[in-house]
C-alpha cells in the first residue's frame, strides 16, 4: 500500500497505476485533513482524482469552505485560486518546545529531525529538544550535533516516561509537544497544535491525527486493520462531567490519540505532576504513559482537544514478529494504565473495573471466539497475544512500582 497526500488548494497529482496492493490518498484543504479516497488500480488523472474527491468528500469540502467564510465553486481546479480568508485564525504567539525522546535509534532520529526542521512556525517561538534515554554510546549526541538549533539532553535512567519528564524539565516552551523518533511531523503540525491551544484556552492537552508513514509490508497494513493510531478527521473537544466518575465515559483513553502526537501546557505539569515513571517503554508495563496522562487531564477537570489538522506520520513495525510484540505490549500497557488510575483515584475504581472487564470481553474475548469459529480476519495469534498482555498488565504496574522503590525512586 502507498499513502499519497493531496492538497486541494494546489494542483492535484496524477495517480500512477498500482499493480500490487492499494493506494490511499489523504485529502487536505488548507492543511486540514478531510478524509481518504482510494483510486482505481489503473491510476487516476488529476481530473479523475478531482471527481473521486468530490464524490466522496463533497460535504467536508463545503463545510470547510463555509467555515472559512467562502463559497464552494463546484470544481476543485478553482480552489487553487481562492485565498484563505479566516480572520479569526490566531497568529502564532505561543512558544512551543518539540520534544523527541529516543533510545539508540539514530537512523530513525535523522529522518525525524529532518521533518521537524521543515516545520512552518516562527523560529523565535520554536524549540527542538532531543532527550537521549539511557544511551549505550554517543551516536545520538553526534546526530543531534549536526542540526543547528536542536538541543540535546540526556536522561541516564531507562524509561520513556522518565525521558518525557526530562524533556519537561529542560524545555522552555509554554507548550510541550511530544513526538517519537519513528514519526514524521507534518510541516503545519506545530502551527495546528498552537492554534488549538489558542482557540481552546481551557484545554491542557492537544492530540492529533496519526497516519501511516508507509505501508510497505504486510505487518504495517495489518496494524492499520487492527486499529492503528488514526482517530479520524473530525475535531473533538473532550471535557468530563466532574459530578460522575470520569471512567464512566473516558476510561478508554486510547480514543484520544497516542504519544507520537500529543502536546500539553507546561502549566498542567506544574499543577498536577509529571508522567508516571512506572509506566511505558523501558519498564515492566511497556506502555500506558500517554493514556494515563490523557485520563489525568480529564480527571483534573481540564479539556482535551483532538485536532486532526495536527498531522504526524508514523512508521509502523515492518516485521510480523515486531508487530506481535507490540500488540502484546499494548495489552500490558493499557491495563497497567487502568490499574495505575484506579490506585491514584479511588473514586474511579468501580468505573475503571467495569470498563476493564467490558473492554476485555468486547475487544479480546469476542474476537478470539470469532477467530475460533473462522469468522475473524485478524490472525488469531495477534488476538491471543493481546489477551495474554491484558492479563499481564493487571500486575505489571505493581511490579514496576516495586522496582522503582528498590531504586530509591517514589
- Do residues 77 and 116 both lie within one domain? no
Q: Are residues 326 and 314 in the same domain?
A: no
Domain end marker among 318, 345, 371: 318
- Domain-located, residue 386: yes
Residue 88 domain-assigned (yes or no) = no
- pLDDT band, very low/low/confident/very high, at 84 (cuts 50, 70, 90): low
Rounded to an integer, the average pLDDT of 40-44 is 85
Burial state string for 246-264 with b = 16 or more CB within 10 A and e = fewer than 16 = bbeebbbbbebbbbbbbbb
- Minimal CA–CA distance to 386: which of 403, 371, 402, 404? 371
Decide if 311 is inside a domain. Answer: yes
CATH number, residue 260: 3.90.550.10
Q: List the Cα angle 270/308/338 in 5-degree steps.
A: 50
How many structural domains are present in the chain?
A: 3
| pLDDT at site 1 | 60
Answer yes or no: is 125 within a domain: yes
Question: Quick one: average pLDDT of 378-389?
Answer: 93
Is residue 208 assigned to a domain? yes
- Domain boundaries, position 58: 2-81
Inside any domain, residue 22? yes
Handedness of CA 108, 95, 229, 213 (dihedral sign): negative
| Residue 263, in any domain of the structure | yes
pLDDT tens digit sequence for 264-322: 999 999 999 999 999 999 999 999 999 999 999 999 999 999 999 999 999 999 999 99
Residues 154 and 249 in one domain: yes
Residue 77: per-residue pLDDT: 56
Residue 59's pLDDT is what? 83
Q: Which of 26, 49, 81 is the last residue of a domain?
A: 81
Question: Residues 133, 224: one domain?
Answer: yes
Given pLDDT bands bounded at 50, 70 and 90, which one contains residue 23?
Answer: confident
Instruction: Examine residue 312 and state whether it is found in any structural domain, yes or no.
Output: yes
245 and 368 fall within a common domain = no
pLDDT > 70: percent of the chain: 93
Amino acid at each position: 500500500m502507498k499513502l499519497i497526500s493531496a492538497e486541494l488548494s494546489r494542483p492535484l497529482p496524477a495517480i500512477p497505476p498500482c499493480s500490487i496492493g492499494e493506494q490511499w490518498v489523504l485529502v487536505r484543504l488548507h492543511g486540514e485533513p478531510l478524509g481518504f479516497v482510494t483510486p482505481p488500480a489503473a491510476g487516476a488523472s488529476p481530473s479523475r482524482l478531482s471527481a473521486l474527491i468530490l464524490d466522496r468528500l463533497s460535504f467536508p469540502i463545503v463545510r470547510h469552505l463555509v467555515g472559512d467564510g467562502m463559497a464552494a465553486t463546484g470544481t476543485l481546479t478553482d480552489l487553487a485560486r481562492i485565498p484563505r480568508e479566516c480572520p479569526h485564525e490566531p497568529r502564532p504567539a505561543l512558544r512551543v518546545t518539540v520534544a523527541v525522546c529516543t533510545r539508540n535509534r539514530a537512523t530513525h532520529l535523522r529522518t525525524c529531525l529532518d521533518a521537524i526542521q521543515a516545520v512552518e512556525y516562527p523560529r523565535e517561538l520554536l524549540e527542538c529538544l532531543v532527550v537521549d534515554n539511557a544511551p549505550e554510546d554517543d551516536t545520538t549526541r553526534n546526530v543531534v550535533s549536526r542540526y543547528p538549533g536542536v538541543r540535546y539532553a540526556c536522561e541516564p535512567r531507562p524509561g520513556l516516561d522518565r525521558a518525557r519528564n526530562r524533556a519537561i524539565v529542560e524545555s522552555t516552551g509554554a507548550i510541550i509537544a511530544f513526538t517519537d523518533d519513528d514519526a514524521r511531523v507534518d510541516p503545519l503540525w506545530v502551527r495546528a497544535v498552537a492554534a488549538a491551544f489558542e482557540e481552546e484556552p481551557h484545554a491542557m492537552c492537544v492530540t492529533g491525527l496519526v497516519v501511516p508513514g508507509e505501508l510497505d509490508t504486510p505487518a504495517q497494513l495489518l496494524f492499520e486493520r487492527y486499529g492503528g493510531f488514526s482517530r479520524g478527521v473530525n475535531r473533538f473537544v473532550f471535557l468530563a462531567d466532574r459530578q460522575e466518575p470520569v471512567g464512566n465515559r473516558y476510561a478508554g483513553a486510547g480514543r484520544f490519540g497516542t504519544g507520537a502526537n500529543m502536546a500539553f501546557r507546561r502549566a498542567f505539569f506544574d499543577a498536577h505532576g509529571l508522567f508516571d515513571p512506572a509506566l511505558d517503554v523501558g519498564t515492566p508495563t511497556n506502555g500506558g504513559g500517554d493514556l494515563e496522562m490523557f485520563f489525568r487531564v480529564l480527571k483534573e477537570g481540564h479539556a482535551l482537544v483532538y485536532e486532526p489538522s495536527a498531522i504526524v506520520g508514523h512508521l509502523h513495525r515492518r516485521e510480523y514478529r515486531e508487530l506481535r510484540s507490540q500488540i502484546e505490549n499494548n495489552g500490558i500497557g493499557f491495563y497497567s494504565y487502568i490499574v495505575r488510575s484506579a490506585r491514584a483515584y479511588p473514586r474511579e475504581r468501580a468505573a475503571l473495573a467495569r470498563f476493564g472487564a467490558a473492554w476485555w470481553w468486547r475487544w479480546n474475548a469476542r474476537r478470539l471466539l470469532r477467530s475460533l469459529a473462522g469468522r475473524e480476519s485478524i490472525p488469531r495469534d495477534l488476538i491471543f497475544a493481546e489477551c495474554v498482555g491484558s492479563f499481564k498488565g493487571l500486575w505489571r504496574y505493581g511490579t514496576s512500582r516495586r522496582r522503582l522503590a528498590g531504586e530509591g525512586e517514589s
